[in-house]
Amino acid sequence: MLENEQPDRESELSPKALQESLREERAARDVVTHLAMHLNMPCDSTEKDCIPDMLKYLGRTFGFGRVFLSVLDGTVAHRLYEWTGPGIPFFRPGSDEIAFDCERDLAAFFCRTPGQYVYIDSDSGWDHLPPRMISWFKETGADSTIVFYAGRHGIGPAFVGFECHGERQVFTPRYRELLRTVVDILIIFYTRVRAEVELRESERFLRMAQGVAGLACWEIAVGKYKKTIGKCFDGDVVPDGIRVDAWEHAFDEYAIPYDERVRAVVEDAWRTGEPFVLEAMIRDGDGIDRWVEVRAQPRIGEGDDARIYGTTQNIDSRKKIERKLRDVNAKLDDLARRDSLTGLLNKREFEKDIHNLCVVFERIKRPLSLIMFDIDHFKQYNDTYGHLAGDDCLRRIGEAIISGLQRDADSAYRYGGEEFTVILPDTNPDGAARVAEKIRQSVQKLAIPHEKSSSATVVTASVGFATTNVEDGVKPVELVSNADAALYRAKRAGRNRISP
Protein backbone atom coordinates (compact mmCIF):
# COMPACT_ATOMS: atom_id res chain seq x y z
CA MET A 1 0.00 0.00 0.00
CA LEU A 2 1.46 3.39 -1.03
CA GLU A 3 -0.57 6.35 0.24
CA ASN A 4 -0.76 9.33 2.55
CA GLU A 5 -2.78 7.66 5.29
CA GLN A 6 -2.59 4.07 6.55
CA PRO A 7 -6.09 2.59 7.02
CA ASP A 8 -7.11 2.79 10.66
CA ARG A 9 -7.32 -0.86 11.82
CA GLU A 10 -7.66 -0.13 15.54
CA SER A 11 -11.23 -1.45 15.56
CA GLU A 12 -9.97 -4.80 14.19
CA LEU A 13 -7.31 -5.31 16.87
CA SER A 14 -7.63 -8.07 19.44
CA PRO A 15 -7.30 -7.01 23.10
CA LYS A 16 -3.77 -8.48 23.11
CA ALA A 17 -2.78 -6.62 19.94
CA LEU A 18 -4.26 -3.36 21.24
CA GLN A 19 -2.35 -3.76 24.50
CA GLU A 20 0.87 -4.34 22.52
CA SER A 21 0.16 -1.25 20.44
CA LEU A 22 -0.37 0.83 23.59
CA ARG A 23 2.88 -0.52 25.02
CA GLU A 24 4.75 0.56 21.89
CA GLU A 25 3.17 4.02 22.02
CA ARG A 26 4.27 4.46 25.63
CA ALA A 27 7.78 3.31 24.60
CA ALA A 28 7.71 5.93 21.83
CA ARG A 29 6.89 8.67 24.34
CA ASP A 30 9.79 7.50 26.52
CA VAL A 31 12.08 7.74 23.48
CA VAL A 32 10.91 11.30 22.72
CA THR A 33 11.68 12.35 26.30
CA HIS A 34 15.04 10.55 26.25
CA LEU A 35 16.15 12.15 22.98
CA ALA A 36 14.97 15.63 23.94
CA MET A 37 16.82 15.49 27.29
CA HIS A 38 20.08 13.96 26.08
CA LEU A 39 20.60 15.39 22.59
CA ASN A 40 20.98 18.93 23.94
CA MET A 41 24.56 18.20 24.99
CA PRO A 42 27.90 19.25 23.45
CA CYS A 43 28.85 16.85 20.66
CA ASP A 44 32.48 16.46 19.63
CA SER A 45 31.86 13.58 17.22
CA THR A 46 31.01 13.55 13.53
CA GLU A 47 27.69 12.45 12.11
CA LYS A 48 29.30 9.10 11.10
CA ASP A 49 29.96 8.44 14.77
CA CYS A 50 26.61 9.64 16.15
CA ILE A 51 23.85 8.79 13.68
CA PRO A 52 24.44 4.98 13.49
CA ASP A 53 24.31 4.79 17.28
CA MET A 54 21.08 6.77 17.27
CA LEU A 55 19.47 4.47 14.65
CA LYS A 56 20.58 1.45 16.69
CA TYR A 57 18.95 2.92 19.80
CA LEU A 58 15.68 3.58 17.96
CA GLY A 59 15.60 0.14 16.32
CA ARG A 60 16.21 -1.73 19.56
CA THR A 61 13.81 0.39 21.59
CA PHE A 62 10.89 0.02 19.18
CA GLY A 63 11.70 -3.55 18.10
CA PHE A 64 12.14 -2.74 14.40
CA GLY A 65 14.19 -4.97 12.13
CA ARG A 66 15.76 -2.14 10.15
CA VAL A 67 16.00 1.67 10.52
CA PHE A 68 17.54 3.81 7.79
CA LEU A 69 18.20 7.43 6.82
CA SER A 70 18.31 8.26 3.08
CA VAL A 71 18.76 11.40 1.01
CA LEU A 72 18.31 12.24 -2.65
CA ASP A 73 21.29 14.01 -4.22
CA GLY A 74 20.23 15.23 -7.63
CA THR A 75 19.02 12.08 -9.43
CA VAL A 76 20.89 9.61 -7.20
CA ALA A 77 19.43 8.26 -3.94
CA HIS A 78 21.84 7.48 -1.14
CA ARG A 79 21.10 5.41 1.94
CA LEU A 80 23.41 7.36 4.24
CA TYR A 81 22.95 5.28 7.39
CA GLU A 82 21.31 1.97 8.14
CA TRP A 83 20.92 -0.22 11.23
CA THR A 84 19.67 -3.82 11.11
CA GLY A 85 18.61 -6.07 13.96
CA PRO A 86 20.01 -9.51 14.82
CA GLY A 87 19.60 -12.07 12.04
CA ILE A 88 18.63 -9.45 9.44
CA PRO A 89 21.30 -8.76 6.78
CA PHE A 90 22.16 -5.30 5.57
CA PHE A 91 20.02 -4.42 2.55
CA ARG A 92 21.88 -5.52 -0.58
CA PRO A 93 19.39 -5.51 -3.48
CA GLY A 94 20.05 -7.56 -6.59
CA SER A 95 20.30 -4.31 -8.53
CA ASP A 96 21.43 -0.97 -7.17
CA GLU A 97 19.33 0.63 -9.87
CA ILE A 98 16.18 -0.90 -8.34
CA ALA A 99 16.97 0.57 -4.93
CA PHE A 100 17.89 3.95 -6.35
CA ASP A 101 14.77 4.10 -8.54
CA CYS A 102 12.57 3.11 -5.61
CA GLU A 103 14.05 5.68 -3.27
CA ARG A 104 13.79 8.27 -6.04
CA ASP A 105 10.08 7.39 -6.22
CA LEU A 106 9.81 7.91 -2.48
CA ALA A 107 11.63 11.26 -2.67
CA ALA A 108 9.41 12.40 -5.55
CA PHE A 109 6.30 11.39 -3.58
CA PHE A 110 7.43 13.34 -0.53
CA CYS A 111 8.31 16.41 -2.60
CA ARG A 112 4.75 16.39 -3.97
CA THR A 113 3.21 15.76 -0.54
CA PRO A 114 5.53 17.25 2.12
CA GLY A 115 4.98 16.27 5.72
CA GLN A 116 3.35 12.90 4.88
CA TYR A 117 4.56 9.32 5.04
CA VAL A 118 4.51 6.12 2.96
CA TYR A 119 3.23 2.83 4.39
CA ILE A 120 3.82 -0.52 2.61
CA ASP A 121 2.19 -3.70 3.92
CA SER A 122 2.74 -7.20 2.47
CA ASP A 123 -0.78 -8.27 3.58
CA SER A 124 -2.50 -5.56 1.54
CA GLY A 125 -1.57 -6.73 -1.96
CA TRP A 126 0.99 -5.21 -4.32
CA ASP A 127 -0.77 -5.19 -7.68
CA HIS A 128 -1.17 -1.43 -7.71
CA LEU A 129 2.54 -0.74 -6.95
CA PRO A 130 5.21 -0.02 -9.60
CA PRO A 131 7.23 -3.18 -10.47
CA ARG A 132 10.48 -1.76 -9.11
CA MET A 133 8.73 -0.89 -5.84
CA ILE A 134 7.53 -4.51 -5.52
CA SER A 135 11.04 -5.81 -6.24
CA TRP A 136 12.57 -3.47 -3.70
CA PHE A 137 10.05 -4.34 -0.98
CA LYS A 138 10.38 -8.11 -1.57
CA GLU A 139 14.16 -7.97 -1.34
CA THR A 140 14.08 -6.15 2.01
CA GLY A 141 12.24 -9.11 3.55
CA ALA A 142 10.04 -6.76 5.60
CA ASP A 143 6.43 -7.50 6.51
CA SER A 144 5.58 -3.81 6.79
CA THR A 145 7.50 -0.57 6.26
CA ILE A 146 6.74 3.05 7.16
CA VAL A 147 8.86 5.90 5.76
CA PHE A 148 8.61 9.53 6.96
CA TYR A 149 9.60 12.59 4.98
CA ALA A 150 12.15 14.67 6.91
CA GLY A 151 12.49 17.77 4.71
CA ARG A 152 15.58 19.07 2.91
CA HIS A 153 18.70 18.69 5.01
CA GLY A 154 22.35 18.77 3.97
CA ILE A 155 22.65 17.58 0.36
CA GLY A 156 19.02 16.91 -0.53
CA PRO A 157 15.54 15.70 0.55
CA ALA A 158 15.82 13.29 3.48
CA PHE A 159 13.56 10.52 4.71
CA VAL A 160 13.67 8.02 7.59
CA GLY A 161 12.29 4.47 7.33
CA PHE A 162 11.31 1.80 9.84
CA GLU A 163 10.93 -1.85 8.74
CA CYS A 164 9.15 -4.59 10.70
CA HIS A 165 10.33 -8.16 10.20
CA GLY A 166 8.66 -11.35 11.47
CA GLU A 167 5.16 -9.92 11.83
CA ARG A 168 3.06 -7.11 10.41
CA GLN A 169 3.12 -3.96 12.56
CA VAL A 170 -0.07 -1.95 13.08
CA PHE A 171 0.71 1.77 13.23
CA THR A 172 -2.14 3.47 15.09
CA PRO A 173 -2.64 7.23 14.56
CA ARG A 174 -1.13 8.02 17.96
CA TYR A 175 1.85 5.70 17.30
CA ARG A 176 2.46 7.34 13.92
CA GLU A 177 2.33 10.80 15.51
CA LEU A 178 4.91 9.79 18.10
CA LEU A 179 7.17 8.25 15.45
CA ARG A 180 6.83 11.52 13.52
CA THR A 181 8.11 13.38 16.61
CA VAL A 182 11.01 10.93 16.95
CA VAL A 183 11.95 11.52 13.30
CA ASP A 184 11.81 15.31 13.78
CA ILE A 185 14.16 15.12 16.78
CA LEU A 186 16.52 12.77 14.91
CA ILE A 187 16.72 15.18 11.97
CA ILE A 188 17.28 18.15 14.29
CA PHE A 189 20.16 16.22 15.86
CA TYR A 190 21.49 15.23 12.40
CA THR A 191 21.37 18.88 11.28
CA ARG A 192 23.04 20.02 14.49
CA VAL A 193 25.91 17.50 14.18
CA ARG A 194 26.51 18.53 10.56
CA ALA A 195 26.50 22.20 11.60
CA GLU A 196 28.96 21.55 14.43
CA VAL A 197 31.28 19.70 12.05
CA GLU A 198 31.05 22.60 9.60
CA LEU A 199 31.79 25.06 12.40
CA ARG A 200 34.86 23.11 13.55
CA GLU A 201 36.14 22.92 9.98
CA SER A 202 35.50 26.64 9.47
CA GLU A 203 37.35 27.55 12.66
CA ARG A 204 40.27 25.29 11.69
CA PHE A 205 40.51 27.02 8.34
CA LEU A 206 40.37 30.47 9.91
CA ARG A 207 43.17 29.59 12.35
CA MET A 208 45.37 28.50 9.44
CA ALA A 209 44.57 31.63 7.44
CA GLN A 210 45.10 34.19 10.21
CA GLY A 211 48.75 34.74 9.36
CA VAL A 212 48.18 35.02 5.62
CA ALA A 213 48.30 38.57 4.19
CA GLY A 214 45.91 37.91 1.28
CA LEU A 215 42.54 38.60 2.90
CA ALA A 216 42.39 42.30 3.52
CA CYS A 217 45.56 43.89 4.85
CA TRP A 218 45.50 47.45 6.03
CA GLU A 219 47.72 50.11 7.54
CA ILE A 220 46.54 53.11 9.52
CA ALA A 221 48.36 56.33 10.26
CA VAL A 222 45.95 57.44 12.96
CA GLY A 223 44.48 60.87 12.19
CA LYS A 224 45.93 60.83 8.64
CA TYR A 225 44.95 57.95 6.40
CA LYS A 226 44.08 54.25 6.08
CA LYS A 227 45.69 52.17 3.32
CA THR A 228 44.02 48.88 2.26
CA ILE A 229 45.33 46.03 0.07
CA GLY A 230 42.89 43.31 -1.03
CA LYS A 231 39.19 42.82 -0.31
CA CYS A 232 37.02 40.65 1.94
CA PHE A 233 33.94 39.94 -0.21
CA ASP A 234 32.75 39.54 -3.79
CA GLY A 235 34.37 36.16 -4.36
CA ASP A 236 37.82 34.92 -3.49
CA VAL A 237 40.23 37.22 -1.71
CA VAL A 238 42.44 38.64 -4.44
CA PRO A 239 44.99 41.47 -4.09
CA ASP A 240 43.65 44.32 -6.18
CA GLY A 241 46.13 47.13 -5.70
CA ILE A 242 46.38 49.79 -3.03
CA ARG A 243 43.46 51.96 -1.93
CA VAL A 244 44.14 54.95 0.30
CA ASP A 245 41.30 56.49 2.33
CA ALA A 246 41.45 59.77 4.13
CA TRP A 247 41.24 59.34 7.92
CA GLU A 248 37.73 60.82 8.10
CA HIS A 249 36.51 58.06 5.74
CA ALA A 250 38.57 55.20 7.22
CA PHE A 251 35.56 53.67 8.98
CA ASP A 252 32.87 54.25 6.35
CA GLU A 253 32.81 50.53 5.45
CA TYR A 254 31.86 49.51 9.00
CA ALA A 255 28.17 49.32 9.80
CA ILE A 256 26.70 51.50 12.55
CA PRO A 257 27.30 51.17 15.52
CA TYR A 258 30.47 49.25 14.74
CA ASP A 259 32.16 52.20 13.05
CA GLU A 260 32.48 54.17 16.29
CA ARG A 261 33.37 51.02 18.22
CA VAL A 262 36.21 50.16 15.81
CA ARG A 263 37.40 53.78 15.83
CA ALA A 264 37.53 53.72 19.65
CA VAL A 265 39.48 50.44 19.71
CA VAL A 266 41.97 51.73 17.12
CA GLU A 267 42.55 54.99 19.01
CA ASP A 268 43.02 53.07 22.28
CA ALA A 269 45.61 50.84 20.58
CA TRP A 270 47.31 53.98 19.27
CA ARG A 271 47.71 55.23 22.85
CA THR A 272 48.66 51.93 24.54
CA GLY A 273 50.55 50.05 21.83
CA GLU A 274 48.55 46.87 22.70
CA PRO A 275 47.38 44.48 19.93
CA PHE A 276 43.64 43.81 19.60
CA VAL A 277 41.17 41.37 18.08
CA LEU A 278 37.50 42.20 17.56
CA GLU A 279 34.48 41.11 15.57
CA ALA A 280 32.61 43.81 13.70
CA MET A 281 30.16 44.30 10.86
CA ILE A 282 31.13 45.61 7.41
CA ARG A 283 28.66 46.88 4.83
CA ASP A 284 29.58 45.53 1.39
CA GLY A 285 29.03 47.19 -1.97
CA ASP A 286 25.44 45.89 -2.17
CA GLY A 287 24.56 47.43 1.19
CA ILE A 288 24.53 44.01 2.96
CA ASP A 289 25.97 43.81 6.47
CA ARG A 290 28.50 40.99 6.94
CA TRP A 291 30.62 39.87 9.88
CA VAL A 292 34.41 40.21 9.86
CA GLU A 293 37.19 39.57 12.34
CA VAL A 294 39.73 42.37 12.74
CA ARG A 295 43.26 41.68 14.07
CA ALA A 296 45.81 44.44 14.50
CA GLN A 297 49.20 45.28 15.99
CA PRO A 298 50.29 48.90 16.64
CA ARG A 299 53.83 50.08 16.09
CA ILE A 300 54.53 53.09 18.25
CA GLY A 301 57.05 55.57 16.87
CA GLU A 302 57.71 59.20 16.23
CA GLY A 303 55.66 61.18 13.75
CA ASP A 304 54.84 59.33 10.56
CA ASP A 305 56.64 56.21 11.80
CA ALA A 306 53.70 55.38 14.10
CA ARG A 307 51.43 52.86 12.42
CA ILE A 308 48.76 50.23 13.16
CA TYR A 309 48.87 47.16 10.92
CA GLY A 310 46.01 44.67 10.65
CA THR A 311 44.01 42.11 8.69
CA THR A 312 40.29 41.71 8.17
CA GLN A 313 38.82 38.23 7.65
CA ASN A 314 35.35 37.27 6.47
CA ILE A 315 33.62 35.22 9.23
CA ASP A 316 30.07 35.69 7.98
CA SER A 317 29.59 31.97 7.23
CA ARG A 318 30.79 31.05 10.71
CA LYS A 319 28.36 33.50 12.27
CA LYS A 320 25.49 32.01 10.25
CA ILE A 321 26.40 28.52 11.48
CA GLU A 322 26.56 29.79 15.06
CA ARG A 323 23.08 31.31 14.66
CA LYS A 324 21.79 28.02 13.24
CA LEU A 325 23.28 26.11 16.17
CA ARG A 326 21.66 28.51 18.64
CA ASP A 327 18.28 27.96 16.97
CA VAL A 328 18.68 24.16 16.98
CA ASN A 329 19.79 24.11 20.62
CA ALA A 330 16.86 26.33 21.56
CA LYS A 331 14.46 23.81 19.97
CA LEU A 332 16.14 20.90 21.75
CA ASP A 333 16.06 22.77 25.05
CA ASP A 334 12.33 23.44 24.66
CA LEU A 335 11.66 19.75 23.91
CA ALA A 336 13.65 18.70 26.99
CA ARG A 337 11.61 21.06 29.22
CA ARG A 338 8.14 19.99 28.09
CA ASP A 339 5.86 16.99 28.49
CA SER A 340 5.51 15.40 25.05
CA LEU A 341 1.80 14.60 25.46
CA THR A 342 0.28 17.83 26.84
CA GLY A 343 2.89 20.41 25.82
CA LEU A 344 3.03 21.69 29.41
CA LEU A 345 6.30 22.08 31.29
CA ASN A 346 7.43 18.81 32.88
CA LYS A 347 8.05 17.81 36.50
CA ARG A 348 11.79 18.44 36.24
CA GLU A 349 11.12 22.07 35.28
CA PHE A 350 8.55 22.38 38.08
CA GLU A 351 11.04 21.27 40.74
CA LYS A 352 13.62 23.73 39.45
CA ASP A 353 11.17 26.66 39.16
CA ILE A 354 9.45 26.17 42.53
CA HIS A 355 12.82 26.10 44.30
CA ASN A 356 14.09 29.27 42.59
CA LEU A 357 10.82 31.19 43.03
CA CYS A 358 10.51 30.31 46.73
CA VAL A 359 14.00 31.75 47.31
CA VAL A 360 13.21 34.95 45.38
CA PHE A 361 9.77 35.62 46.90
CA GLU A 362 10.96 34.89 50.43
CA ARG A 363 13.67 37.52 49.92
CA ILE A 364 11.34 40.20 48.51
CA LYS A 365 8.56 39.41 51.03
CA ARG A 366 5.83 38.81 48.42
CA PRO A 367 3.31 35.92 48.29
CA LEU A 368 3.79 32.91 46.03
CA SER A 369 0.84 30.57 45.38
CA LEU A 370 0.75 26.99 44.10
CA ILE A 371 -2.24 25.14 42.64
CA MET A 372 -2.35 21.33 42.40
CA PHE A 373 -5.26 19.54 40.75
CA ASP A 374 -6.15 15.99 39.82
CA ILE A 375 -8.55 14.60 37.20
CA ASP A 376 -11.37 12.88 39.09
CA HIS A 377 -11.72 9.10 38.64
CA PHE A 378 -9.20 9.05 35.78
CA LYS A 379 -8.39 5.34 36.20
CA GLN A 380 -12.06 4.51 35.63
CA TYR A 381 -12.01 6.80 32.58
CA ASN A 382 -9.05 4.86 31.09
CA ASP A 383 -10.68 1.52 31.93
CA THR A 384 -13.94 2.60 30.25
CA TYR A 385 -12.77 4.51 27.17
CA GLY A 386 -9.19 3.21 26.66
CA HIS A 387 -5.75 4.74 27.01
CA LEU A 388 -5.89 6.51 23.64
CA ALA A 389 -8.98 8.38 24.77
CA GLY A 390 -7.23 9.04 28.10
CA ASP A 391 -4.27 10.60 26.30
CA ASP A 392 -6.62 12.78 24.26
CA CYS A 393 -8.40 13.85 27.46
CA LEU A 394 -5.11 14.89 29.11
CA ARG A 395 -4.07 16.75 25.96
CA ARG A 396 -7.31 18.75 25.84
CA ILE A 397 -7.02 19.62 29.54
CA GLY A 398 -3.43 20.81 28.98
CA GLU A 399 -4.61 23.08 26.16
CA ALA A 400 -7.40 24.45 28.35
CA ILE A 401 -4.92 25.27 31.14
CA ILE A 402 -2.53 27.08 28.78
CA SER A 403 -5.32 29.17 27.21
CA GLY A 404 -6.76 30.02 30.64
CA LEU A 405 -3.65 31.55 32.21
CA GLN A 406 -3.85 35.34 32.03
CA ARG A 407 -0.32 36.40 33.02
CA ASP A 408 2.99 35.60 31.38
CA ALA A 409 4.50 35.00 34.83
CA ASP A 410 2.09 32.11 35.57
CA SER A 411 3.36 28.64 34.62
CA ALA A 412 1.55 25.30 34.20
CA TYR A 413 3.14 21.86 34.57
CA ARG A 414 2.22 18.21 34.19
CA TYR A 415 3.28 16.87 37.59
CA GLY A 416 2.71 13.20 36.77
CA GLY A 417 -0.04 10.96 35.40
CA GLU A 418 -3.31 12.89 35.68
CA GLU A 419 -1.94 15.45 38.18
CA PHE A 420 -1.12 19.04 37.21
CA THR A 421 0.34 22.10 38.96
CA VAL A 422 0.24 25.86 38.35
CA ILE A 423 2.68 28.35 39.93
CA LEU A 424 1.26 31.86 40.52
CA PRO A 425 3.96 34.41 41.45
CA ASP A 426 2.95 37.46 43.51
CA THR A 427 -0.54 36.02 44.13
CA ASN A 428 -2.38 36.07 47.48
CA PRO A 429 -4.86 33.37 48.65
CA ASP A 430 -7.88 35.22 47.19
CA GLY A 431 -6.22 35.43 43.78
CA ALA A 432 -5.18 31.77 43.96
CA ALA A 433 -8.77 30.78 44.82
CA ARG A 434 -10.08 32.64 41.75
CA VAL A 435 -7.58 30.93 39.43
CA ALA A 436 -8.26 27.53 41.03
CA GLU A 437 -12.02 27.91 40.47
CA LYS A 438 -11.41 29.04 36.89
CA ILE A 439 -9.33 25.89 36.26
CA ARG A 440 -12.04 23.67 37.76
CA GLN A 441 -14.69 25.29 35.57
CA SER A 442 -12.54 25.12 32.42
CA VAL A 443 -12.07 21.35 32.86
CA GLN A 444 -15.80 20.83 33.39
CA LYS A 445 -16.71 23.06 30.43
CA LEU A 446 -14.76 20.74 28.11
CA ALA A 447 -17.76 18.43 28.59
CA ILE A 448 -15.77 15.23 28.07
CA PRO A 449 -18.22 12.38 28.84
CA HIS A 450 -17.35 10.20 31.87
CA GLU A 451 -20.13 7.73 32.62
CA LYS A 452 -18.19 5.99 35.42
CA SER A 453 -17.57 9.16 37.45
CA SER A 454 -19.41 9.53 40.74
CA SER A 455 -18.81 13.31 40.68
CA ALA A 456 -20.51 14.27 37.42
CA THR A 457 -21.44 12.94 34.00
CA VAL A 458 -18.37 14.64 32.49
CA VAL A 459 -14.67 14.77 33.35
CA THR A 460 -14.02 17.04 36.36
CA ALA A 461 -11.09 18.09 38.52
CA SER A 462 -10.41 18.45 42.25
CA VAL A 463 -8.25 21.49 42.99
CA GLY A 464 -6.14 22.44 46.00
CA PHE A 465 -4.08 25.57 46.50
CA ALA A 466 -1.64 27.05 49.03
CA THR A 467 0.18 30.37 49.49
CA THR A 468 3.49 31.16 51.19
CA ASN A 469 3.55 33.10 54.47
CA VAL A 470 5.11 36.45 53.62
CA GLU A 471 6.56 36.96 57.10
CA ASP A 472 7.85 33.47 57.88
CA GLY A 473 8.61 32.20 54.37
CA VAL A 474 8.00 28.64 53.20
CA LYS A 475 10.40 26.07 51.82
CA PRO A 476 9.51 24.52 48.42
CA VAL A 477 8.76 21.11 49.96
CA GLU A 478 6.38 22.73 52.47
CA LEU A 479 4.50 24.68 49.80
CA VAL A 480 4.07 21.52 47.68
CA SER A 481 2.99 19.56 50.76
CA ASN A 482 0.43 22.23 51.71
CA ALA A 483 -1.05 22.33 48.20
CA ASP A 484 -1.15 18.53 48.04
CA ALA A 485 -2.97 18.37 51.40
CA ALA A 486 -5.50 20.92 50.10
CA LEU A 487 -6.02 18.77 47.00
CA TYR A 488 -6.86 15.74 49.13
CA ARG A 489 -9.25 17.80 51.24
CA ALA A 490 -11.10 18.66 48.03
CA LYS A 491 -11.25 14.96 47.12
CA ARG A 492 -12.53 13.92 50.55
CA ALA A 493 -15.18 16.63 50.41
CA GLY A 494 -16.71 15.04 47.30
CA ARG A 495 -14.40 16.01 44.39
CA ASN A 496 -15.12 18.53 41.61
CA ARG A 497 -14.37 21.43 43.97
CA ILE A 498 -11.55 23.63 45.21
CA SER A 499 -10.01 23.67 48.68
CA PRO A 500 -7.42 25.96 50.39
Active-site amino acid positions = 418
Contact 121, 163 (CB under 8 A): no
The sign of the dihedral angle between the CA atoms of 427, 432, 438, 443 is: positive
Residue 73 identity? D
CA R_g for the chain:
31
Encode burial over 247-270: b for 16+ CB neighbours within 10 A, e otherwise: eeebbebbbeebbeebeebbeebb
Please state the three-class secondary structure of 313-344 as a single string: EECHHHHHHHHHHHHHHHHHHHHHHECCCCCC
- Distance from C-alpha of 399 to C-alpha of 123, rounded to nearest angstrom: 39
Element (H, E) at 280: strand 276-283
Burial of 143 (0-12, 13-18, 19+ CB in 10 A): middle
Helices 15-38 + 47-62 axis angle, to 10: 150
Element (H, E) at 162: strand 156-164
Strand partners, 147: 118, 161
Kindly provide the b/e burial profile for residues 69-79, where b requires at least 16 CB atoms within 10 angstroms of the residue's own CB. bbbbeeeebee
